[in-house]
Structure 1
Amino acid sequence: MSLSRRKFLSTAAVSSTAGLIMGAPHVARAQSTQTFEWRMTNAYGPGAPFYVEGPGSPTDFCRKVEALSDGRLKIHHFAAGELIPALEGFNAVSSGMIEMNAGNAYFWAGQIPAAQYFTTVPFGMNTQGMNAWIYHGGGQQLWDELYASRGLVAMPMGNTGVQMTGWFRQPIEGIGDLNGLKMRIPGLAGKVYNELGVAVRLLPGGEIFPALERGVIDAAEFVGPYQDRRMGLHKAAKHYYTTGWHEPTNVTELLINKAVWESLPADLQSIVRTAAMACNLESQAWCESVNAEALADLVENEGVIAQPLPTEVVERLEMVTAEVLEAMASEDAETRKVHDAFMAFRDKHASWAGVSEKTFLNLRA
């Protein structure tokens, strides 16, 4: 028997007597021993590093919560297809069928266009800026407001950092090379590409390589060098563009049913938030630690041509992005509110990043 257990038993009679006299403290003590078992589904398939397993991953989050709560909150994790299909998490959690889901908010764009701003925005903010906005710039409050009427609570639980433009079977030498291209690309970037004549496809991770290899698509974006190499994308295309215009950050969303969230005692809610924040930091640090080696290997040993997009293409993409975002924001009040808040913080953060991070990185260039 553990010391804490013996201490609990030795004080039980005193606690019960105090409870009869004081009422509320007894309820608080009883509530603190209540246990919970939840299920978490995932938009990504079994074994995927970062998205399912590894440092700061959803399964790591589940372990952290169980350890920090001393077993009072146990979360059973199910990768895509093990309990529900890959992109059914939003509806499953909203309906109460599942307590939690791990994925990306931009997957729910068809139901909540403004949700995309909580994953990434083309030409938006990097990971430092995104974290600053969500945690201390009003972003989390907007996220809460957006999801409350859908019976949901969400928060960051991971971040890949900046992502690569993607893999192309043929080189991109000018803006005209995008017209007619078939590309796997999610989120707001897909809308931008669509305006430039790209036939956009939204495919789960497991379907990207076979589609690219067979020529069903001409190009594909996934994450970054480590993850892309693991999927074998370099075997289907050799032109790897590094300009992370479309996803300068990418937030993993922890989605929770609002009713079950509110059923948790305050200390368990704090444990969930703390574990999620820890995973947000650890997952991005892990990505930074593995991508450099993977990129060097792809270039030096696999014949990959890694380079930025031509300036002409990037400038046109930025112009169309501004048009697409403004048009989307004009369609509904929710999106307008989130868009304006995001852009205002982006501009404020850029003024600081321009004299801090950018200046330092330029010294090392």
Structure 2
Amino acid sequence: MKTSIVCLSTALMAATALPALAQETLRIQTHYAPETESGKLAQQFADDVEVMSGGEIDVEMFFSSSVVKTVEAFDAAANGILDCDMTGGAYQTGKNPAFQFVGDIMGGYDTPWQQYAWLYNGGFETADELYNGFNMKLVGWWIYGQESMSSTKPLAGPEDLKDWKFRSPPGMETEIFANLGASPVVMDFTEIFTALETGIIDGADASGLANNVGLGLYDLVEHATYPGFHSMPSDHLACRLDKWESLSDAHKRIIDTAMQKLAFQTALTFEVANNEAAAELREKGVTLHDWSDEDRKVFREAAQAAWADWATKTPETKALVDSHIAFMQQLGLIASE
């Protein structure tokens, strides 16, 4: 009898010592390289989900668009090649122009906190409905702040945009900059370095200043706009609907909590990282162009004219544009009519 009890106790101890087996696997692709600030934060998100779930969720993070091209990640998740997409809605404007206004409003909010405030004060429901129509669930945003344009030529103001050939993401941005005299070239995020190196483009709208440093852009160019003003993209986490609905409520809550931590940490990290990058680049001899209020107004007016045009494209786009305008008026960012 004593031997049986000892054996049973040993067996129970061995069983409880075994690591928890992963019950769910999330295959997620991001366009960021692992060495960039955003790439490091994405990995921290994956680690947080795994730790908080006690190993019940295994996150496979694919960096640098290593499975499919950046613009294809959304479809790859919706069709089951991946489970979730960690790029941004603005890459999906070909499906519905409304995605522009959940991806990059352009010339709108000044800070990530204002943009998050729209999402969590009524905007989420409208945005998620758009995603649901394409078999996807919007989980949340992570916003690193205003982007900086990088260039081989000076970018001191709107006049320098004339004939400036630069990498642009797809969507409304190409129209705004073309109207200002530039020559936007749509190409994948991963192709920027080679295009600059070979002279196909003069510059790029890639990311925030610190991420651009991580990409090595300032080994090739000597000019950037900083502080940024033209674009503040909302990178998202969006998962296939059936995958999301198959998760337990506890697992959904863990992912949502980890996502909100990522959002908070992203804004804080880049507040510091962009300023550090600016100091480093000035010392290196890179010229940082801080556009005047008058020059920024030129861009804002061009962007807001594009909002009005895009609002006519689909009912979903109009609903999102109207929602943003009402919220910006509430915040005092644009004048009430």
The TM-score with structure 1 as length reference comes to: 0.79
1:175–1:312 CA contact under 8 A, matched in 2: no
Q: Spell out, residue by residue over 1:59-81, the C-alpha distance to the aligned partner (whole angstroms, 9 max, x if none).
A: 22221111111122212112245
Q: Which stretch shows the higher mean deviation, 207-216 or 68-77? A: 207-216
The answer on 1:306 being equivalent to 2:294 is: no
Task: Return the letter of the residue paired with 1:323.
Answer: A
1:299–1:306 CA contact under 8 A, matched in 2: yes
The answer on 1:92 being equivalent to 2:92 is: no
2:31–2:189 CA contact under 8 A, matched in 1: no
The answer on 1:132 being equivalent to 2:117 is: yes
2:37–2:214 CA contact under 8 A, matched in 1: no
5+ residue gaps, structure 2, are 1-7
Q: Give the CA deviation at 1:204.
A: 3.1
1:102–1:253 CA contact under 8 A, matched in 2: yes
* Structure 1 CA distance for aligned equivalents of residues 86 and 58 of structure 2: 16
Q: Which stretch shows the higher mean deviation, 90-99 or 169-178? A: 169-178
The answer on 1:50 being equivalent to 2:34 is: no
Taking a change above 3 Å as real, the CA distance of residues 58 and 340 of structure 1, as seen in their structure-2 partners, is same
- Residue 86 of structure 2 is matched in structure 1 by 102
Q: Give the CA deviation at 1:174.
A: 5.6
Q: 1:244 aligns with which of 228, 231, 243?
A: 228
* Structure 2 CA distance for aligned equivalents of residues 298 and 174 of structure 1: 20
Q: Give the CA deviation at 1:325.
A: 0.9
The answer on 1:169 being equivalent to 2:169 is: no
Q: Give the CA deviation at 1:178.
A: 2.1
* Structure 2 CA distance for aligned equivalents of residues 86 and 349 of structure 1: 33
Q: Give the CA deviation at 1:257.
A: 0.4
Taking a change above 3 Å as real, the CA distance of residues 282 and 83 of structure 1, as seen in their structure-2 partners, is same
Spell out the pairing of 1:35-74 with structure 2 (5 A cutoff): 35-45=23-33, 47-52=34-39, 54=40, 57-74=41-58
Q: Give the CA deviation at 1:36.
A: 1.4
The TM-score with structure 2 as length reference comes to: 0.86
* Structure 2 CA distance for aligned equivalents of residues 262 and 207 of structure 1: 35
Task: Return the letter of the residue paired with 1:108.
Answer: Q
Spell out the pairing of 1:173-252 with structure 2 (5 A cutoff): 175-186=158-169, 187-247=171-231, 249-252=232-235
Q: Give the CA deviation at 1:231.
A: 2.5
CA RMSD of aligned residues (A): 2.5
* Structure 2 CA distance for aligned equivalents of residues 65 and 151 of structure 1: 23
Task: Return the letter of the residue paired with 2:317.
Answer: T
Taking a change above 3 Å as real, the CA distance of residues 214 and 199 of structure 1, as seen in their structure-2 partners, is same
Q: Spell out, residue by residue over 1:130-174, the C-alpha distance to the aligned partner (whole angstroms, 9 max, x if none).
A: 111111x2111111111112111013242212222x123222456
The answer on 1:326 being equivalent to 2:308 is: yes
1:43–1:87 CA contact under 8 A, matched in 2: no
The answer on 1:254 being equivalent to 2:222 is: no
3-state SS in 2 of match to 1:234? helix
Q: 2:297 aligns with which of 307, 310, 315?
A: 315
Taking a change above 3 Å as real, the CA distance of residues 275 and 311 of structure 1, as seen in their structure-2 partners, is closer
Q: Which stretch shows the higher mean deviation, 176-185 or 274-283? A: 176-185
Task: Return the letter of the residue paired with 1:286.
Answer: T
Alignment size in residue pairs = 317
1:174–1:312 CA contact under 8 A, matched in 2: no
- Residue 21 of structure 1 is matched in structure 2 by none
- Residue 322 of structure 2 is matched in structure 1 by 340
5+ residue gaps, structure 1, are 10-32, 353-365
* Structure 1 CA distance for aligned equivalents of residues 24 and 323 of structure 2: 36
3-state SS in 2 of match to 1:223? coil
3-state SS in 1 of match to 2:105? coil
Taking a change above 3 Å as real, the CA distance of residues 341 and 290 of structure 1, as seen in their structure-2 partners, is same
